[in-house]
Chain A
Amino acid sequence: DIQMTQSPSSLSASVGDRVTITCRASQSINAYLNWYQQKPGKAPKLLIYAASSLQSGVPSRFSGSGSGTDFTLTISSLQPEDFATYYCQQSYSAPRTFGQGSKLEIK
């Protein structure tokens, strides 16, 4: 199975900050990498697919980059509604493993 490791596991930031979350795969997954946002008690929401493609309706302050084994999710200017947990997921091969999550909290 491909292991996905996110960092940091948690972080505190302020509204307006630029935030970057990283995700590393245990082997190359090309660009088969998705990012999801999850708020408490809610289903995950797709933000980025294929490493850098912005899902329809997602604000442009979210962006993704990377290929191979190293990927990043960047939020250019944090908004109050962005405080949530973020997960990466590889779709290169089954099982479609997720990272352990990165919880973004208000400073």
Chain B
Amino acid sequence: QVQLVQSGAEVKKPGASVKVSCEASGYTFTDYYIHWVRQAPGQGLEWMGWVSPNSGGTNYAQKFQDRVTMTRDTSIRTAYMELSTLISDDTAVYYCARDRAGYSSTWGQGTLVTVSS
């Protein structure tokens, strides 16, 4: 079945970077964009950007433009989201989701990133 499996929870200090992975299975990896969405504790959903597994092209929300890098490794069907210069407000659950034609039909289970000194 179609599945996205994310890496485990992370605890980082302010100023550090985090890299979250998202491994796809059950479909042709290069046929769907991978979007990243985060959710701070008790808050709503915030779209961060997408990566095209086919071309490697990216599109980032302006808010994260200077700090986020989304990549993919087609050989292992995995997408990555790296966020740098972490602050406490980056504490959130980070989700990947596959998307084609404008909607995200399958989501990963989420990765909790905690930023704390």
Interface size on A, as a range, is 20 to 34
**A49 interface residue (CB < 8 Å to B):** yes
A residues lining the B interface (CB < 8 Å): 1, 32, 34, 36, 38, 43-46, 49-50, 55, 87, 89, 91, 94-101
CB contact under 8 A between A49 and B103, given known A43-B109, A94-B59:
yes
**B55 interface residue (CB < 8 Å to A):** no
20 A-B pairs with CB atoms under 8 Å apart are: A1-B62, A32-B102, A34-B103, A43-B95, A43-B97, A43-B107, A43-B108, A43-B110, A44-B37, A44-B104, A45-B107, A46-B104, A49-B101, A49-B103, A50-B102, A55-B105, A91-B103, A95-B61, A95-B63, A101-B44
B104 and chain A: residue at smallest CB distance: A46
A98–B44 contact, CB under 8 A?
yes
For B104, list chain A residues within 8 Å (CB): 34, 36, 44, 46
Told that A36-B104, A49-B101, A89-B47 touch, could you supply 6 new A-B pairs with CB distance under 8 A?
Answer: A1-B62, A38-B45, A44-B37, A44-B107, A94-B49, A100-B44
Interface size on B, residues (CB 8 A): 22
A44–B102 contact, CB under 8 A?
no
**B31 interface residue (CB < 8 Å to A):** no
A96–B47 contact, CB under 8 A?
yes
For B101, list chain A residues within 8 Å (CB): 49
Q: How far is the CB of A97 from chain B (nearest CB, A)?
A: 7
CA gap between A100 and B101 in the complex, in Å: 23
B63 and chain A: residue at smallest CB distance: A95
B35 and chain A: residue at smallest CB distance: A96
For B37, list chain A residues within 8 Å (CB): 44
A97–B47 contact, CB under 8 A?
yes
**B89 interface residue (CB < 8 Å to A):** no
CA gap between A32 and B59 in the complex, in Å: 18
